[in-house]
């Protein structure tokens, strides 16, 4: 899929730090990986909220 060119103002220090953490090869990859991480984090948070408090005593005991 073709990606449109988008112009945004970003904190260069933040982009550099994120690039190092993510081991990204470019600014574009850094931003894409960051956005993917935010989306996955949100999915994870929703799952935790959905199932939080649902366990009963003994649910995790080994047989």
Contacts with 53 (C-beta within 8 Å, 6 or more apart), sequence order: none
* Amino acid 51: pLDDT: 83
Average pLDDT over residues 54-63: 76
Q: How far apart are the first and last CA of the chain?
A: 50
Whether residue 63 has pLDDT greater than 70: no
Task: State whether residue 31 is helix, strand or coil.
Answer: helix
What does the pLDDT look like over 14-55, one tens digit per residue?
A: 999 999 999 999 999 999 999 999 999 999 999 988 888 877
């Amino acid at each position: 899929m073709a990606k449109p060119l988008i112009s945004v103002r970003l904190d260069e220090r933040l982009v550099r730090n994120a690039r190092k953490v993510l081991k990204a090869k470019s600014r574009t990859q850094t931003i894409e990986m960051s956005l993917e991480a935010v989306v996955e984090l949100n999915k994870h948070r929703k799952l935790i909220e959905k199932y939080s408090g649902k366990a009963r005593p003994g649910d995790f005991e080994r047989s």
